[in-house]
């Protein structure tokens, strides 16, 4: 049985791999999950933003979660948590996704705020949405705050804390991809929260900064490329080796910036370039990233962080 909230550590928001006809490439997924498991991640986020959740059918979502759970078991990583992205425009569909995620083997649900009608999504509406989902979900949920994919909707710290207090053991954490470290610090240290609650930094770019602020670890796209580097940074911070952690954070931040510029398909193309599986293909309308995208300075920056990864 999974802990009440996700354990502290590094979580990789697993990318979705596709064949040329845009069908799921489950074999590439299996290779990828096995590498992440061996890399020491605390868990996986399936169908996050980098997992192209909006492009997948409900049945495909379950297929990916089930495959990931099977590979973790094969790798002797029954301890690794699976957090499934379950956001949808309606409360009803979000609850359905939570039910299906549980059936497929997920331990927690990661839920975006609804955003199709952003002007109607004030903080009271958002609070009711998360409360209704949490009460109906068979697995605990984490609030996913990512204004970049929710029409600019930004859930404030008061709303997050009030939801955590009102739904103990049901709303058990948050992922803050908004990059607001003040918000992260406030939530992580709010004395009104008396039950386990995991506040996660949402990008490699501010991993170390988040740890200083009280983050429970990180859920970071770049962990798909270099999971061991992320685990090592956490170890350095915990050991009080701040200068070494800062140096590693610098390399991570530079690599993360390159990957942001390449987009979701570019992250997969990087995995293919440096680890020879997957390919840089997303479902349309997202594009295909060619090998030429890695020429020059981009290749230097990414190869440096991959070399560090391979030496660990």
CA separation (Å) from 7 to 134, 135, 195, 200?
19, 22, 14, 11
- How wide is the angle at C-alpha 227 spanned by C-alphas 18 and 47, nearest 5°? 40
Look up 175 and say whether it is catalytic: yes
What is the helix (H) or strand (E) element at residue 171, kind and residue range?
strand 171-176
Catalytic residue among 170, 175, 228, 268: 175
Here the tokens at position 49 are 């933003």
Residue 99 bridge partners (DSSP): none
Asked if residue 63 lies in contact with residue 101, where contact means CB atoms within 8 angstroms, the answer is no
Q: Which residues fall within 8 angstroms of residue 303, CB to CB, at 6 or more apart?
A: 274
Active site residue ranges = 175
């Amino acid at each position: 049985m999974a802990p009440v909230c996700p354990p502290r550590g590094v979580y990789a928001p697993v990318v979705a791999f596709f064949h040329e006809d845009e069908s799921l490439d489950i074999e590439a997924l299996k290779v990828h999950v096995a590498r992440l498991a061996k890399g020491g991640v605390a868990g996986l986020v399936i169908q996050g933003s980098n997992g192209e959740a909006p492009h997948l059918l409900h049945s495909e979502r379950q297929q990916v979660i089930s495959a990931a759970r099977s590979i973790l078991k094969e790798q002797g990583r029954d301890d690794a948590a699976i957090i499934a992205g379950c956001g949808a425009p309606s409360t009803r569909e979000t609850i359905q996704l939570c039910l299906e995620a549980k059936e497929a083997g997920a331990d927690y649900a990661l839920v975006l705020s609804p955003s199709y009608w952003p002007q109607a999504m004030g903080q009271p509406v958002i609070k009711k949405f998360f409360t209704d989902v949490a009460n109906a979900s068979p697995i605990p949920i984490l609030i996913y705050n990512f204004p970049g994919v929710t029409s600019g909707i930004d859930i404030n710290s008061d709303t997050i804390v009030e939801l955590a207090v009102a739904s103990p053991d049901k709303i058990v954490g948050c992922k803050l991809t908004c990059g607001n470290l003040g918000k992260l610090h406030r939530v992580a240290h709010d004395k009104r929260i008396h039950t386990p609650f995991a506040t996660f930094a949402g990008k490699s770019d501010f991993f170390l900064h988040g740890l200083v602020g009280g983050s429970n670890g990180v859920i970071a796209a770049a962990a798909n490329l270099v999971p061991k580097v992320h685990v090592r940074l956490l170890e350095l911070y915990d050991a009080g080796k701040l200068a070494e952690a800062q140096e590693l954070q610098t390399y991570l931040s530079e690599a993360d910036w390159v990957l942001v510029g390449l987009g979701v398909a570019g992250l997969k193309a990087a995995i293919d370039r440096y680890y020879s599986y997957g390919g840089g293909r997303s479902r349309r309308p997202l594009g295909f990233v060619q090998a030429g995208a890695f020429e020059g300075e981009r290749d230097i920056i990414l190869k440096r962080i991959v070399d560090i990864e391979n030496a660990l």
